[in-house]
Amino acid sequence: MVSPMKDCDLLINCGWLLTVDAENTVLTDHSIVVNDGRISAILPRESALNTYRTDTLVERREHIVAPGLINAHTHLAMNLMRGFADDLPLMTWLQEKIWPLEQQHVNADFVAAGTRLALAESIRAGVTCVNDMYFFADRTADELTRAGLRGRVGMLVLDFATAWAKDAASYIQKGLELHDALRNNERVSTCFAPHAPYSVSREPLERIQVLSTELDLPVHMHIHETATEVHEFEATHGMRPLAMLRDIGMLGPSLIAVHMTQLNSEEQELVSHNGVHLAHCPESNMKLASGCAPIAALLAAGGNVAIGTDGAASNNDLDLLAELRTASLLAKMTSSDAAACNAEQSLRMATINGAKALGMEHLTGSLEPGKAADIICVETHSPEMQPVYHPVSQLVYAAGRESVTDVWVDGQALMQDRRLLTIDIKETISDAKQWASTLCG
């Protein structure tokens, strides 16, 4: 007796399937079965063909199939400032170029246009989930929702006035309103995003820590990005920023600490021991000559390291695969250990570690039954991707963003055969050009 065929929404036949489960299992010639946005089964291709029928069968038998990439730190809207000011150190770049430009030009439409450009780039690069920090996060949330990505938008807090809010209290208030507005959004949620210890005073940080605990939301903050910033803080406050954050109870698994290029050995211990997540942004740190977070040591100590691109104004792209590769190569160089941050560990940083940092590991970051169908396919039939000996190495060390062919979030296709399905590229580019001429005007 033949058992009846089961229906499914989507069936993907994969050449190599990188699950990024606890054992980093790699499966060959397996299929992913998707129903209601979730992965309902992963099984050998032959079994799948004998068990499931679907209207949407996707053949990717020469592709590497992996979890969608998670960009753990970015400023999407800053895509409109890509290449606006290069070859400058952080404080000159911020104070003389970026902040004046933002004061003059950033508004809700700017954020919408910049985010759209950034999301087109992100999807094309295989990114399915972002952790954003910027003004007018309501517009960022709208664009994420429209484009279909998963993400957290930061409830930005600064001490000083901008077009978005006038003081720390009003930033927090606007953030909380956004948090309420997004309560039924299935893909986009919020987190607190105090900019940095040097730009947000202790009192609002203390309030944010209380709210973060009450609402069970992560706190996303730039911390110890440069030596200058740490020294100046110490000169003013008599302690390093991390010590102040420890004092107010912020060093725990709800904290996504961005950059952290300046960590002494006690601080490395403090961070690992307390379960603080690092959002490592190596290319931005290199470009601004800020330094390099000691990720080989943090990983060895069991710390959670995720990867972010930072904004395109300091990177100058949102290419998470390239960022991942840089992270791995840089960790090897700075730790003088070619085995450090190997291909498997690197892939985890851009997937499951990012999910952990964002408090989403139950939902995304690996390809396992029960999780959301956040999936990317990467072709191997170009000269750059041949031959394939080890698919994880190939993805981490050889693949470029242009190798990504398909992207799904919750089983919804956002890109198919390199064609974007949720964003109008022509209009997006035309808007970006318009904004660029305004910024130069």
Name which of 215 and 425 has its Cβ closer to its own copies. Answer: 425
DSSP letters for 95-116: IIIIHHHHHHH--HHHHHHHHH
CB of 109 to its own copies, least distance (A): 15
CB of 419 to its own copies, least distance (A): 13
- C-beta separation of 129 from 374 below 8 A: yes
CB of 253 to its own copies, least distance (A): 29
- C-beta separation of 63 from 295 below 8 A: no
CB of 263 to its own copies, least distance (A): 16
CB of 319 to its own copies, least distance (A): 7
- Torsion-angle region of residue 334: left (phi > 0), alpha (psi -120 to 50) or beta? alpha
In angstroms, what CA-CA distances link 142 with 82, 146, 244, 428?
A: 22, 6, 35, 15
Name which of 71 and 316 has its Cβ closer to its own copies. Answer: 316
CB atoms < 10 A from the CB of 427, how many? 11
Name which of 121 and 250 has its Cβ closer to its own copies. Answer: 121
Residues with Cβ < 8 Å from 419, sequence gap 6 or more?
none
How far apart CA 288 and CA 293 sit, in angstroms, is 14
In angstroms, what CA-CA distances link 118 with 113, 125, 354?
A: 9, 10, 19
CB of 337 to its own copies, least distance (A): 6
Please give the residue ranges that form the binding site for its own copies (CB under 8 A): 79-80, 82-84, 86-90, 92-93, 117, 120-121, 124, 283, 285-292, 312, 315-317, 319, 322, 326, 328-330, 332-333, 335-340, 342-343, 381-384, 386-390, 393-394, 397-398, 400-402, 425, 428-429, 432-433, 435-436, 440
Name which of 58 and 117 has its Cβ closer to its own copies. Answer: 117
What's 266-310 look like in SS3?
A: HHHHHHHHCCCEEEECHHHHHHCCCCCCCHHHHHHCCCEEEECCC
Name which of 223 and 396 has its Cβ closer to its own copies. Answer: 396
CB of 344 to its own copies, least distance (A): 9
Structural tokens at position 413: 């296709």
Name which of 142 and 319 has its Cβ closer to its own copies. Answer: 319
- C-beta separation of 182 from 189 below 8 A: yes
Name which of 108 and 436 has its Cβ closer to its own copies. Answer: 436
